[in-house]
Amino acid sequence: MKASKAGIAFLIVFVSCIDPFGVSSLEPEGLLNIEAFLTSEPHVQQIRLSRAGIYGLDNVGRNLPVRGAVILVKDDLGNIERFLESGVSGTYLSSSEFSTKVGRSYNLDIELPNGERLVSLPELVNPVPKMDSVTYRAVRTASTDPMNDEIGVQVLGHFQDPADQQNFYYWKMLESDFVLITEPELYTLPPTHPTCPRCPVPKDCCSRCFHKDTPRPANINTIDDLEFNGNYQSRVIAYVRDNGLRFKETYRLDIQHMSVSAEAHRFLKLSDQQLRLTGSVFDPPPANIRGNVINLNRPEEQVLGYFFATDIQLLRVYIRRDNLEFFLRPQTTVPDDCRDYLQQASGFPMPFLPTEAPEDWDGF
């Protein structure tokens, strides 16, 4: 008994002599991500800096904005535009007059708060061949559902490709507007109503509102003129899937028609290939896509994103249902006031949709 008590006492003394060892868990720093897309349209342009979130067994992070950086854009004539940090963390803005110029090359110069410096390779701005006209047509394609084809609208651009130069095109769909048609006369009380669940209570207003939309699918549409150099083109430059709501009346699609460099075209093409991976055995292997920005202090570190400098032509097309050969049937029924659509779709308090058209709307 005495021996066991002595052993316990020895253990207490031994444990009490151990000094605590502080372990500082160093979380890995995410890679720097750059979003810089400068165009020849004069307006306030933006560059975004963030650190990519770390994901793993011990880390489930999110992208963190990089504050306090000094960002300069320089051209080959020595002109410098400084991008100033805005009220949105990690977002840096140019002056309202800034734009790229055809024939000039630009490079990005960033100094981070920790003293590290990053620069891009020069990007030459080539002229984009002007689009003569834009048309559209309804298309039907096979889908993963064997009983239902996918319905959508293809937008075609008609333009002359120059024969005396190699061109690289990029078409980007922007946030667009469309007329949202609903059926308020079909409104019913919710199924949880205490006295009259699902009873019809028609609403007098409103059935026609205007809603903003991000076109889907958001594929990267880029091509070179290797196979059609010098020929007139009628080429698909955009595709919008019919979800049953977009084409109940009029959809206004905005598109950027751009020229990009050969290096930017390669970056976009590889990015699109990776976005289209489905896990099939026929998929190309995953690629490590490197951009055109280098960390001078740590050249071996990969910098995510790409610094684009482009010439641009803005395109706008009004897609009217009455001009489509066919559309998705049955169309989606929304039995409510169209002004309440955002709240009805999300289940949370949301702003009303407007019934008045945007000031620049020309789709009546």
Domains of the chain, each with CATH number or no CATH? 28-125+271-280+288-309 (2.60.40), 131-260+314-346 (no CATH)
Average pLDDT over residues 251-275: 95
- Which residues lie below 8 Å from residue 163, measured CB to CB, with a gap of 6+? 229, 230
pLDDT of residue 274: 87
**Dihedral of the CA atoms 101, 107, 109, 110 (nearest 10)?**
90
Q: Is 176 exposed, middle or buried (0-12, 13-18, 19+ CB in 10 A)?
A: buried
- Encode pLDDT of 120-134 as tens digits: 999 999 999 999 999
Average pLDDT over residues 54-66: 67
- Encode pLDDT of 66-105 as tens digits: 999 999 999 999 999 999 999 999 999 999 999 999 999 9
pLDDT of residue 275: 84
Q: What's phi and psi for 263, nearest 5 deg?
A: -70, -40
Average pLDDT over residues 193-199: 94
Q: How far is CA 199 from CA 186, 192, 194, 348, in A?
A: 10, 11, 11, 23
Q: What does pLDDT average to over the chain? A: 90
- Which residues lie below 8 Å from residue 5, measured CB to CB, with a gap of 6+? none
Structure tokens at 166: 């190699």
pLDDT at 25 over 70: no
pTM of the model: 0.85
